[in-house]
Chain A
Amino acid sequence: MTATDPYVGRSVLRLEDDRLLRGSGRFVDDVDVPGQLWVRIVRSPLAHARIVGVDASEALSAPGVVTVLTGEDVADVEAIPLRLDWPGYELEPFLQPVLARERVRYVGEPVAVVLAETPYLAEDAAERVFVDLDPLPVVLDAREGIADEAEPLREGRTNQVVLMEKGYGDVDAAFANADHVVRAKFTTGRHTGVPMETRGLVADYDPGRGRMTIWGATLVTHYHRRVLSRLLGLALNQIEYRPTDSGGSFGVRGDFFPEDFLVAHLAYKLGRPVKWTEDRAEHLVATNHARQQRYEIEGAFDGEGRLLGLRTEVWHDKGAYLRPTGVTVAEITLGILPGPYRLPAYQAKLHVVTTNKTPIGAYRAPGRYQTTFARERLLDIAAAQIGLEPAEIRRRNLVAPDEIPWEPGLIYAGESFMLDSGDFTGMLEKSLEAAHYAEWEQEAAQLRSEGRLVGNGIGYWIDKSGLGVYETAGIEVDPSGKIRVLTGGASTGQGIETVMAQIAADVLSVSPEQIEVIYGDTNLIPDGVGSWSSRSTVIGGSAVRAAGLATVEKARRLASEFLEVAEQDLVVEEGRVYVQGSPDRGMTYGELASANDTLTAARLDEDPGLGAREIFIDKHMNYPYGVNLVQIEIDQETGGIQVRRAFCSAECGKAINPMLVAGQAAGGVAQGLGGALLEEFVYDEDGTPRATSFMDYLLPTALEVPPIQTLLLEDAPTPTNPLGAKGMGETGIIGIGAAIGNAIDDALQRPDTVHALPVTPERMLALLETPVHA
């Protein structure tokens, strides 16, 4: 490794680690503003009820209380608007108000806000706000929610938000001509991302200057600013969002929630700083949930196991309101269902249904985890019925390299599904080989012959990355030589500072340590789209690259002037521009920035200093793909499932930092295992959530997660960005549920056994007792 080797492609150690390891990161709860007041949200204890009245008089006279806000105080504030709005749907009636009025629709819905001198006093007083509720019947299941007798959550409307239909080809003919038709029903549970840091906000309004400053909106600060501007009636440029470190996101912290308005509103109204830190019990009912879906699916196959057609109907429990991602998860669910397979005909119907539970939004690989479970389970069941090995039925159906680009005519999320690059069979073979899957199979067979329930499962997944059209970037060279990269992306803990620094370092011929990466600061960065949909590296990184190239061009122009040499005789190396053959005659970036002062800049007709701003527009999403493999053992006494081995491969196009990609994959696998085996939001019959602590909502610990093997390939760079990179933020997690389900079937040697995730010990015991019917 020499100094001239590129940083892109290297496992550069992270720039953000030092402060985080020393405990000197700055998370939102670490931000304090002198004189701040504390917010406590009063939340609905019932899942569905008419609000008879809210009596705050006792709370108002409690020690330290400054004010109490109820729904009537903000009656004229519009509901929280959509961030992702696809044409053709009427969604406004289902948006969430900032505080409930007239009716509450889930346990945890904000009903009032108490503002007090300390967090302890705010919490005390919140218990003295009396909310008089008249209970209504509840809807807790998407399918039952659209039955005629179901209680409507909104007067004069059914609970079906949208009936979405997508597809292509002649599906009826496919089924008419099929040698085998395979049918199954699947459900996926209600899960969420559970970042280790709960949400939090600090808002500080300066009435003199008319400026609002906010900390704590981590994922898409520029979008937050637009929404707050609209709801609060302040101009965009009166609102500034400041960055903090972020204790994880996984998509659930990206939305604009009611609290994002309420905290800012109180600061604005009172002219005093206001702070809110969510507690974990609140987080588990108030922050987005995810995933809950029910599938009926059928596949038509020819005699050799080739897919002729796929038909499905899906019921998607959306919870009580649409959060800002609207029906995007539903769009993606149907868009990703065909996967990496040569599917000639497809017909899908999806009911988005509102229920009396916490609203559902996007959580790492939204739609993909569920849809991959349904498709990959169906393939295993079909393989057993047709008499093929699970790997073989996939081999026969994967899109071949000569069929790329594969664009069957499926429109979702505003564009046409198109696999623009890929070697899908190559990925399968390489994965099976790298994992030594044949040995796993021998081992499992051996252990089964000894009476143990050991099995292996495959989950082939595709992802989509880069939905979010454009991203901005800036580069600023300080006269000291320090280089600042500004990105419209955000930190979710994924290592964005390191990745952006690597990309900029190569273009500028400097080392990443010379670069500081700034994100999320609306004062320094005029616009940005944020970090979600695995878009930051591919779109944000491409923008940084463009800004770097423009900076180098400017550096050469300036050096040509100052050194009086033609541009083509200049060399850029190690942060310096010098004359070819005379390395002593040169200027560093810092010297160029300094020399290009205001008078000089005017003379040269240049902007002063050195740097550039660029925007990268993404024309089309790209499609990462890979394989999850697991080996599990079922404890016949307890129903507990031990994961013995886990493997994840991913096609990166280009891995900017392989260490970080492997880290994302391993984390995704662990999170996926949680949803497959442990995690579930369960509700009582009256809609009371039972999982409101970590004693009930079980996250995987180091004992439930095995060592994780990863295989990163760069066989199929995407043509959609100059890096060739595919988004890697959601790898690892997507195929895990499917692989676990398939492995349980294999362990029992009983196809068509697992139909629901998570397979908790309770459910596993029930499955063990179910008579064989296949």
Chain B
Amino acid sequence: VTLLPVSIEINGTTFNRTIEPRLLLSDFIRHEARLTGTHVGCEHGVCGACTVQLDGRPVRSCLLFAVQADGHSVRTVEALAVPGAKLHPLQQAFHEQHALQCGFCTPGFLMTLEPVVRDTPVQQLDEETIREALAGNLCRCTGYHNIVSAVRVAAERMQGNGESAES
């Protein structure tokens, strides 16, 4: 078996490893970097549970080989709030709006939605736009209803329109 050296930065730490070319990025994150917040739900790119950010863009880590991330920067759910620190506003909104039940799909939703609540102007985040943004991630527990609310609340807070977000 040919092994390849890779250097992948995850949440600010560089991981230098020699790996099989077929090793999935999701397995690299979970087993090599020991960051188990990234979950694997289907391993064929449909459910979105394994979503991480590669150079700032949400991607499915089960559809990438780790060698493809060589020299790139990966951000996982663990980076949203460091241990002991307050939750990220999106996480806080998920908590307050009851937007998670079993929590297995949640890290994928958070990593998909974080750029959305940060960058999409609140005025544009109507019901349909939010649902479009969610549509690539599967949740089996919540029926999505409260995730839609959480996105709205988080965007309002992050974009400095806090008054309507107070509950």
Which residue, B76, B136, B143, has most C-beta atoms of chain A within 10 A? B143
Query: Which residues of A have CB within 8 Å of B148?
Result: 702, 707
Question: Any chain A CB within 8 A of the CB of B65?
Answer: no
- Of A243-251, A611-619, A682-690, A739-747, the segment with at least 4 beta carbons within 8 Å of chain B is A243-251
Question: Any chain B CB within 8 A of the CB of A262?
Answer: no
Query: Which residues of A have CB within 8 Å of B101?
Result: 248, 493-495, 663, 667
Q: In the bound complex, do residue A660 and residue B98 qualify as a contact, i.e. CB atoms below 8 Å apart?
A: yes
Question: Any chain A CB within 8 A of the CB of B146?
Answer: yes
On whether A670 and B138 interact (CB within 8 A), knowing A22-B78, A24-B37, A29-B40, the answer reads no
Chain B positions 70 through 110: 1 when the CB is less than 8 Å from some CB of chain A, otherwise 0: 00000011101101000100010011101011111111001
Write the chain A residue with the least CB distance to B44: A693
Query: Which residues of B have CB within 8 Å of A13?
Result: 95-96, 98
The DSSP consensus for interface residues of chain A is: loop
Q: In the bound complex, do residue A667 and residue B87 qualify as a contact, i.e. CB atoms below 8 Å apart?
A: no
Q: In the bound complex, do residue A694 and residue B103 qualify as a contact, i.e. CB atoms below 8 Å apart?
A: no
On whether A197 and B102 interact (CB within 8 A), knowing A21-B95, A669-B143, A707-B127, the answer reads yes
Question: Any chain B CB within 8 A of the CB of A194?
Answer: yes
Q: In the bound complex, do residue B102 and residue A21 qualify as a contact, i.e. CB atoms below 8 Å apart?
A: no
Shortest CB distance B89–A (Å): 12
Q: In the bound complex, do residue B77 and residue A22 qualify as a contact, i.e. CB atoms below 8 Å apart?
A: yes
Q: In the bound complex, do residue B102 and residue A195 qualify as a contact, i.e. CB atoms below 8 Å apart?
A: yes
Write the chain A residue with the least CB distance to B131: A702
Bound CA–CA A20/B101 (angstroms): 9
Q: In the bound complex, do residue B37 and residue A666 qualify as a contact, i.e. CB atoms below 8 Å apart?
A: no
Question: Any chain B CB within 8 A of the CB of A14?
Answer: yes
Shortest CB distance A658–B (Å): 10
Q: In the bound complex, do residue B143 and residue A21 qualify as a contact, i.e. CB atoms below 8 Å apart?
A: no
Write the chain A residue with the least CB distance to B45: A694
Partner of A17, one of B35, B39, B95: B95
The DSSP consensus for interface residues of chain B is: loop
Question: Any chain A CB within 8 A of the CB of B36?
Answer: yes
Shortest CB distance B87–A (Å): 6
Q: Which of B123-166 contact A (CB under 8 A)?
A: 127, 130-132, 134-148
Q: In the bound complex, do residue A196 and residue B105 qualify as a contact, i.e. CB atoms below 8 Å apart?
A: yes
Shortest CB distance B43–A (Å): 6
Partner of B41, one of A196, A250, A667: A196
Question: Any chain B CB within 8 A of the CB of A699?
Answer: yes
Query: Which residues of B have CB within 8 Å of A494?
Result: 101
On whether A27 and B39 interact (CB within 8 A), knowing A196-B104, A694-B47, the answer reads yes
On whether A701 and B42 interact (CB within 8 A), knowing A14-B98, A495-B101, the answer reads no
Q: How many A residues touch the partner, as a band?
A: 35 or more
Shortest CB distance A247–B (Å): 3
Q: In the bound complex, do residue A23 and residue B143 qualify as a contact, i.e. CB atoms below 8 Å apart?
A: no
Q: In the bound complex, do residue B138 and residue A23 qualify as a contact, i.e. CB atoms below 8 Å apart?
A: no
Shortest CB distance B167–A (Å): 11
Q: In the bound complex, do residue A701 and residue B49 qualify as a contact, i.e. CB atoms below 8 Å apart?
A: no
Bound CA–CA A660/B127 (angstroms): 22
Partner of A699, one of B23, B76, B95, B140: B140
Write the chain B residue with the least CB distance to A699: B138
Question: Any chain B CB within 8 A of the CB of A671?
Answer: yes
Query: Which residues of B have CB within 8 Å of A493?
Result: 101-104, 141
Q: In the bound complex, do residue A22 and residue B36 qualify as a contact, i.e. CB atoms below 8 Å apart?
A: no
Bound CA–CA A644/B66 (angstroms): 42
Partner of B103, one of A16, A662, A699, A708: A16
Write the chain B residue with the least CB distance to A16: B103
Q: In the bound complex, do residue A196 and residue B139 qualify as a contact, i.e. CB atoms below 8 Å apart?
A: yes
Which residue, A196, A246, A280, A666, has most C-beta atoms of chain B within 10 A? A196
Bound CA–CA A735/B81 (angstroms): 41
Q: In the bound complex, do residue B135 and residue A197 qualify as a contact, i.e. CB atoms below 8 Å apart?
A: no
Write the chain A residue with the least CB distance to B142: A667
Q: In the bound complex, do residue B140 and residue A250 qualify as a contact, i.e. CB atoms below 8 Å apart?
A: yes
Question: Any chain A CB within 8 A of the CB of B4?
Answer: no
Shortest CB distance A231–B (Å): 29
Partner of A23, one of B95, B107, B134, B146: B107
Q: In the bound complex, do residue B44 and residue A248 qualify as a contact, i.e. CB atoms below 8 Å apart?
A: no
Instruction: Spell out A's residues near B (CB within 8 Å).
Output: 11, 13-14, 16-18, 20-27, 29-30, 120, 193-198, 245-248, 250, 279-280, 492-495, 659-660, 662-663, 666-671, 693-695, 699, 701-703, 705, 707-708, 732
Q: List 16 A-B contacts (CB under 8 A).
A: A22-B77, A23-B35, A23-B36, A195-B140, A196-B141, A247-B103, A280-B43, A280-B47, A493-B141, A494-B101, A668-B143, A670-B143, A694-B46, A701-B137, A705-B145, A708-B143
